[in-house]
């Protein structure tokens, strides 16, 4: 009755968590394409119909469990601290550093790959770029057209994930993090603060 009083069916919460944990692991380690509602259900020890019942389609499951590898509420204030002329450098260091780690990189790859064909994942990318990370940074920098600036930063970032990790262009896949930061920092700086 206590469960019902909080609007949940008995047992729901534990099962959902098992499914979410299995889904996070599979999207990260297998990627969006190879993970399936069935394989997630199997790992969680539940019936596939239950996964469908709670979460709907595979892209809806991705959206439900995907967490950005960085928390914008923490990261945006850190990025905005310090010299405005070095915001591009701080942003490039953050993104290249995050993408240099296995688990966050896989998570970003899953989201970008899914966004190419799934409207729900595309909406996550739009929100990440416009509302959560680049948008709030651009809005605080006192330059014209902050939405366009945020979108340009986002376009280079999703392009980097696609070209470096998904498509795997050799020269970009092999470059050191340090050199990639040097190449990208002035571009992010231009997009964020220089005349467009």
- Residue ranges binding a second copy (CB under 8 A): 32-33, 112-113, 115-117, 122, 125-126, 129-130, 145, 147-148, 150-152, 154-160, 162-164, 166-172, 175, 179, 182-183, 186-187, 190-191, 196
Task: Quote the least distance from Cβ 50 to a second copy, whole Å.
Answer: 27
Calpha distance 103→67 (Å, rounded): 12
Q: Of 16 and 113, which has the nearer Cβ to a second copy?
A: 113
Q: Of 64 and 187, which has the nearer Cβ to a second copy?
A: 187
Task: Quote the least distance from Cβ 55 to a second copy, whole Å.
Answer: 21
What DSSP letter does each residue of the chain carry, written as one string? -HHHHTT--TTHHHHHHHHHHHHHHHHHHHHHHH--HHHHHHHHTS-HHHHHHHH-SHHHHHHHH---SS-HHHHHHHHHSS-GGGHHHHHHHHHHHHHTSHHHHHHHHHHHHHHTT-HHHHHHHHHIIIIISHHHHHHTTT-S-HHHHHHHHHHHHHHHIIIIIIS--HHHHHS-HHHHHHHHHHHHHHHHHS--
Q: Of 31 and 48, which has the nearer Cβ to a second copy?
A: 31
Task: Quote the least distance from Cβ 18 to a second copy, whole Å.
Answer: 28
Q: Of 90 and 157, which has the nearer Cβ to a second copy?
A: 157
Q: Of 24 and 113, which has the nearer Cβ to a second copy?
A: 113
Task: Quote the least distance from Cβ 126 to a second copy, whole Å.
Answer: 6
Task: Quote the least distance from Cβ 166 to a second copy, whole Å.
Answer: 6
């Amino acid at each position: 009755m206590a469960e019902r009083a909080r609007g949940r069916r008995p047992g729901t919460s534990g099962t959902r968590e098992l499914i979410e944990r299995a889904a996070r692991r599979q999207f990260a380690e297998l990627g969006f394409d190879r993970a399936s509602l069935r394989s997630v259900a199997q790992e969680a020890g539940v019936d596939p119909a239950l996964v469908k019942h709670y979460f709907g389609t595979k892209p809806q499951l991705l959206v439900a469990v995907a967490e950005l590898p960085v928390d914008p509420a923490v990261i945006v204030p850190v990025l905005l601290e310090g010299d405005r002329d070095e915001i591009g450098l701080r942003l490039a260091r953050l993104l290249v550093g995050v993408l240099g780690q296995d688990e966050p990189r896989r998570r970003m790859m899953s989201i970008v790959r899914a966004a190419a064909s799934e409207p729900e994942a595309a909406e996550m990318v739009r929100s990440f770029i416009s509302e959560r990370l680049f948008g709030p940074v651009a809005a605080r920098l006192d330059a014209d057209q902050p939405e366009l600036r945020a979108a340009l930063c986002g376009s280079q970032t999703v392009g980097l994930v696609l070209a470096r990790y998904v498509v795997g262009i050799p020269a970009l896949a092999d470059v050191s993090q340090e050199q990639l930061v040097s190449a990208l920092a002035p571009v992010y700086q231009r997009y964020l603060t220089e005349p467009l």
